[in-house]
Structure 1
Amino acid sequence: MHTKWIDDLLAVAETKNFSRAADQRCITQSALSRRIRSLEEWVGVELVDRSTYPVQLTRAGRTFCEQGKEALALFMELRSDLRRGDRMPGRSLQVVAGHTLAMTFVPKWLVNHRQQQPALNARVLSANVHDAVIALAEGHCDLMLGYSHPQAPIFLDPDKFVGLRLGHDALVPICSPDRSGQPLHALPGSAEAPLPYLAYTATSLLGRVTDLILRNAATPAALERCHEADMAMHLAKMVHGGYGVAWLPESAVADELANGTLVRAGDQRWSTELEIHAFRRIGNSNPALLELWRSLELPHS
């Protein structure tokens, strides 16, 4: 039995709706349904009455929620006590960041804050946005950093999490230059000669933002999807090899754009701004996190 299944059931009990509960738990509705079924199989009785609308818990489900919630709280407190012994020494943070941000934004950001908090230590792990959200929701980190976009935001329950905007980046189309320094694969391409498109996988936030750019483009782009990956840094390597055009965070290729080894494949109409956000769980009492968060809330931050 996984402890996250208890949180799944608690979300269903609170929202009385599988779809809203799935959004709250940052998973698909089908995944939530499977996990509730798995919990019911483990317990041995039905916990949710699926014949009612809105969804109601069975008598056994209500009993399980009441006692399971208390047991889960004790278990999580024990886990927190044990993890404190496994933290970095001194005042430390556990940080999960998107793959690109972990390579570009986070190092400079942490160096800056260590000037203000010299004793601040950090353990940084990289993950895609879905896994990063899950890590925060399940208490595996103190702080989560990720990209966000007004039309593809990161949804977190405002009663449980709080967020701050830290900065911005841009998602821009990038390709290798030809011998004259011009884009080797210039947008929008043509039906007769579609551009080789290095795309993100369907679950990637940057992929969703790229799709928004392409859907909103005044002129349709002629693209032929020839490669997929969930990491911008991987796509950047493919772009370096001249394999096609990819939409990359500008910060990830700033040096290459400056020295001309990579170029923009289109003008500003093919780009969009990204926001960089930090999120923490309300109630996390880690002193290092609280001190850092207070500094982030200051106007000059």
Structure 2
Amino acid sequence: MTTLNLSWLEDFLALAASGHFSRAADERHMTQPAFSRRIRALETWLGAELFDRSNQPATLTDTGQWFNGIATDMLAKAAKIPGEARAFNEANANTLRIASTHALSFTFMPYWLRGLESQMAIGQVQLISDVLQRCETMLLESQVQFLLTHTHAEAINALDTQGYPSIVVGEDLLVPVSAPKKDGTPLHALNKRATKNPAKLLSYSAESGIGRIVAQTQAANASPWPTETVFTAHLASVLRTMALDGRGMAWLPQSLIHEDLARGVLVEAAPDMAGIKMAIKLYRDKTALSKAGEDFWSANLR
């Protein structure tokens, strides 16, 4: 009997998405004949046809539509196996595996850990710093035990929707800032009346957690600020550098720029606006943690 190859499921989903064998074969980096044989092998294993090939693009049969959800679920479960295996293997280990968004990893995290060390002995910490989208994936697949990130009530993330436990461990403020003119006023000021001359915006990419917060809070604003995006990046630190160079205004966390504001090398682009309040949240894996992990979580609950 034919044995299931998990990569066939990825082939199936690629073809289900486009309906074109040649396009799906290119996406899977193989020739069309080889790709077609793999789809046939999957259908043989199942004992049913998954695609109606009588028309182009090919469409899913009733069985194919049913199997679409099955294949997605099987691949998601398979992706979690290595992380869960590591978690099981390290059940008695002392290493804490923490994913953190870039801005918090070098602003908030050092002071936060120092405060926790007064309550408990923190052993080895393995920190992975990345954009929120990748950090979320790491926690969803149990590659890390914890995730530290900025959050906002209007920017729900994948962990919230799936019920991952979380604790608020700090606060931050998102401030629109610009390099100053000689008179100290912002070089790139936000002005709701300046619709014909919008402020130059240094923007975040879609993978950025802060970018999500800015986008969703502005989308909820009945009268959003008129801006024109001139530069996009993943990291707040990159946008800070561009703002310091006078390239535009950026929404930056106060924890990152408090010294710049104190020195006057950055000024608020909308001085009359209060900014966007953010919570700093610690999320944890749903599965059982090591003793060190549970102790670390408990210390944050106090």
Per-residue CA distance 1:166-220 (angstroms, 9 max, x = gap): 1211111010111121111111162443321111113323223222343455654
- Alignment-derived partner of residue 151 in structure 2: 148
Contact residue 176 and residue 240 of structure 1 kept, 8 A: yes
Q: 1:86-105, aligned counterparts within 5 Å? A: 91-105=94-108
- Alignment-derived partner of residue 255 in structure 1: 259
Closer, same or farther: CA 164–179 of 1 in aligned 2, 3 Å:
same
TM-score (norm 1): 0.72
User: 2:104 matched to 1:106?
Assistant: no
Which of the numbers 148, 164, 169 marks the counterpart of 1:166?
169
Contact residue 244 and residue 266 of structure 2 kept, 8 A: yes
Per-residue CA distance 1:2-44 (angstroms, 9 max, x = gap): 79x79xxxxxxxxxxxxxxxxxxxxxxx99x76xx98x95972
- Alignment-derived partner of residue 42 in structure 2: 44
- Alignment-derived partner of residue 15 in structure 1: none
% identity of equivalent residues: 25
- Alignment-derived partner of residue 183 in structure 1: 186
Runs of at least 4 residues off by over 3 Å: 40-43, 45-53, 55-58, 71-82, 157-160, 212-220, 267-270
d(CA) in 1 for partners of 2:145 and 2:101? 15
Q: Number of aligned pairs?
A: 264
d(CA) in 2 for partners of 1:42 and 1:109? 55
d(CA) in 1 for partners of 2:121 and 2:112? 13
Contact residue 84 and residue 143 of structure 2 kept, 8 A: no
Which of the numbers 290, 294, 298 marks the counterpart of 1:286?
290
- Alignment-derived partner of residue 26 in structure 1: none
| Structure 1 unaligned residues grouped into runs of 5+ | 7-29
Q: 1:1-301, aligned counterparts within 5 Å? A: 41=39, 44-45=42-43, 56-57=66-67, 78-80=85-87, 84=90, 91-156=94-159, 161-188=164-191, 190-217=194-221, 219-267=223-271, 269=273, 271-298=275-302
Question: SS state of the match for residue 165, structure 2?
Answer: strand
Contact residue 83 and residue 141 of structure 2 kept, 8 A: no
Contact residue 136 and residue 281 of structure 1 kept, 8 A: yes
Closer, same or farther: CA 81–181 of 1 in aligned 2, 3 Å:
same
Contact residue 80 and residue 140 of structure 2 kept, 8 A: no
**What is the CA RMSD across the aligned residues, in angstroms?**
4.0
Deviation (angstroms), 1:75: 6.0
Closer, same or farther: CA 230–179 of 1 in aligned 2, 3 Å:
same
Closer, same or farther: CA 230–42 of 1 in aligned 2, 3 Å:
farther
Deviation (angstroms), 1:160: 6.6
